Structure 1
Amino acid sequence: MLPTHGRYEYAAWRGRTPYAWPGGALLAVYLGVNLEHFAFGEGLGAELAPGGPQPDVLNYAWRDYGNRVGAWRLLDLLESLDLPATVLLNSALYEHAPELVAAHRARGDEIAGHGRTNAERQSVLTEAEEAKLIAEATAAIRRHEGKAPCGWLSPWIAESRATPDLLAEAGYGYTMNWCADDAPFWMTTRAGRLLAMPYPQEVNDIPAIVARKDGAAAFADMILDDFHERLAQTADGLPQVMGIALHPYIIGQPHRMRHLRRALAEIASHRAAVCITTAGAICEHISALPPGVVPGSEWVR
């Protein structure tokens, strides 16, 4: 037998129990807007070009463009199309760019936990240090938003063996780290169940544009191909979740925004047939379904 994680059991796509999203749609779409801040002269960070010796001004400034400019252009686009967002927030943004977080708060976007900063990776910490990281990020969101976040995405999607346990113990309802399905499923932890929320590793501007070097038009086409194929697939009667992961320092560049607008406008035009929502609202809906409907609910409590 191969080593396993023990968090969930295999559940084949065929044969699952059908259910629907609010309004009767079978496809739910959410936008995951990653608002991230990075340390200057040290730590981790995505690169536009291979970084030189620290301080790596080129890549630091490229990333900071997202918070200064790109995120505001993305906000305008979301407003023009009346689209909600799930904000995956580094808590360091409350100090670095409080106006940006306030703008998302004002439009009622969901604020989810995304660590303190993407300059660090929680998987290399001791359990006590990781618990402290989660607690500090969570407390900052609770203090500024008036309530604790429901969802979590680890910086760099990095986990230790204890991360799901620590998230459940901290009161989280869902994690985006486990991208193993097209629909949510329940995982087990030492503190009870935790929902695995689909988060895209394909329809995501970092692997698409930074890693694979896809152009802006190709990324927009990927979004639309994914959307229309999923919409067609729901003819099998089973619900799906489509996430679109966006990083303002990448997608907020003007030449990419034009193509993103094309893709999101097309999705918005189908809002009568799909559920355009937030990850938190998806979690709330799933949590209210009876046992036996969602994979894992029959054995995870």
Structure 2
Amino acid sequence: MPMIDLKTHDRFGFSALPDRPDFSWPEGKRLAVCICNNIEVFSYLDGLGSDSAQVGAPQTTRNYAWREYGNRVGQWYLFDLLDELGFPASHNFNSLLLDRHARIAERILERGDEFVGHGRTNAERQDTLPEAEERALIEESLAAIRAFAGTAPKGWLGPYLAQTPVTLDLLKEAGLDYVLDWPADDQPFWMRTRSGPLLSVPYSIEVNDSPAMVFRQQGAADFERMMVDQFDEMLFQSGKYPLVYTIVLHPFVIGQPYRLRALRRALAHVAAFRDKLWITTPGQVAAHYASLHPPA
């Protein structure tokens, strides 16, 4: 049999979960919980964008309006639910939202939540760009949030979790501390870049309303069961390993009232175990992990 040349990378090495040093989150907690919300803006009848009924559908007034529902309505339902539960959240934030929907950013500041860099718009992907243009996209999106919020984001999630071979290098050079684009673990881990280490923080593409309910067309009850089962099992596993549980949301998906009801029940289940949890944001997870396990 001929040898198969498997392409690889030099960003991180293999690490088996049982072989790692043990640690705890603040106050001795073993499970960190992060609500990761994606707030996005799209181009009218142009570019990329999800559709409520068909994968890969062309851009239409219907699916543009469906996504805009998230910014006009669904996001505000979600803010109110998080307020009721006393949960912080992080928001993967398209910077061009500041031109059209700055009121959303104002509410994020009022809540004291975390902005995470999420490109300019989800009408484009950064993995199609040459290095100079990708660098400009990253710097432009971070600069816009910095100008509004007073500080730049410390973390990054690319639109569609898409990266070029040099994305990690560009993110490190832009001053970012962590990235969410590599769903390879339930603990943070260090990645190598040409300018020094960058932390990967867990981010679920499984317990994520968009792939579950838009792309796989699963129902709200299915997603509720996913959220609860993932949480219950990770709470059990955290007796052995410190872990990070994330729920990933998009307000144009989860903000539909019947889906919001499922989220409400799932988050109430999580909140019932509040005393055992560190309910936090990815940025706080990154900072705590880096303080305990600085890069070699």
Return the TM-score normalized by structure 1. 0.94
Which secondary structure does the structure 1 equivalent of 2:192 belong to?
A: strand
Contact 1:74–1:248 (CA under 8 A) maintained in structure 2? yes
What whole-Å deviation, never above 9, does each CA across 1:135-173 have from its counterpart, x for those lacking one?
000000110110111000000001000000000000000
Letter of the structure 2 residue corresponding to residue 249 of structure 1:
F
User: What's 1:161 paired with?
Assistant: 165
How do residues 181-200 of structure 1 correspond to structure 2 at under 5 angstroms? 181-200=185-204
In the TM superposition, residue 51 of structure 1 has moved relative to its aligned partner by 8.1
In the TM superposition, residue 269 of structure 1 has moved relative to its aligned partner by 1.7
Instruction: Give the aligned CA root-mean-square deviation in angstroms.
Output: 1.3
User: What's 1:228 paired with?
Assistant: 232
Letter of the structure 2 residue corresponding to residue 214 of structure 1:
Q
In the TM superposition, residue 271 of structure 1 has moved relative to its aligned partner by 1.2
The 1-side partners of 2:229 and 2:55 are apart by 33
In the TM superposition, residue 235 of structure 1 has moved relative to its aligned partner by 2.0
Identity of matched residues, % = 49
In the TM superposition, residue 52 of structure 1 has moved relative to its aligned partner by 9.7
In the TM superposition, residue 101 of structure 1 has moved relative to its aligned partner by 1.1
In the TM superposition, residue 108 of structure 1 has moved relative to its aligned partner by 0.2
Are positions 1:245 and 2:245 aligned together?
no
Contact 1:138–1:149 (CA under 8 A) maintained in structure 2? yes
The 2-side partners of 1:154 and 1:52 are apart by 19
What whole-Å deviation, never above 9, does each CA across 1:112-156 have from its counterpart, x for those lacking one?
100000000000000000000000000001101101110000000
Return the TM-score normalized by structure 2. 0.96
In the TM superposition, residue 98 of structure 1 has moved relative to its aligned partner by 0.6
The 2-side partners of 1:125 and 1:217 are apart by 39
> Structure 2, unaligned stretches of length 5 or more?
none
How do residues 119-268 of structure 1 correspond to structure 2 at under 5 angstroms? 119-236=123-240, 238-268=241-271
The 2-side partners of 1:123 and 1:58 are apart by 27
Per the alignment, do residues 196 and 290 of structure 1 end up closer, same or farther by CA in structure 2, a change over 3 Å counting?
Answer: closer
> Structure 1, unaligned stretches of length 5 or more?
292-296
The 1-side partners of 2:20 and 2:164 are apart by 30
Contact 1:37–1:117 (CA under 8 A) maintained in structure 2? yes
Are positions 1:284 and 2:287 aligned together?
yes
How do residues 15-164 of structure 1 correspond to structure 2 at under 5 angstroms? 15-50=19-54, 56-164=60-168
In the TM superposition, residue 50 of structure 1 has moved relative to its aligned partner by 3.4
The 2-side partners of 1:114 and 1:182 are apart by 21
Contact 1:36–1:90 (CA under 8 A) maintained in structure 2? yes
Aligned residues: 292
What whole-Å deviation, never above 9, does each CA across 1:239-271 have from its counterpart, x for those lacking one?
111111000000000000111000011111211
User: What's 1:294 paired with?
Assistant: none
User: What's 1:270 paired with?
Assistant: 273
The 2-side partners of 1:235 and 1:172 are apart by 31
In the TM superposition, residue 212 of structure 1 has moved relative to its aligned partner by 1.5
Q: Which runs of 4+ in 1 moved over 4 A?
A: 51-55
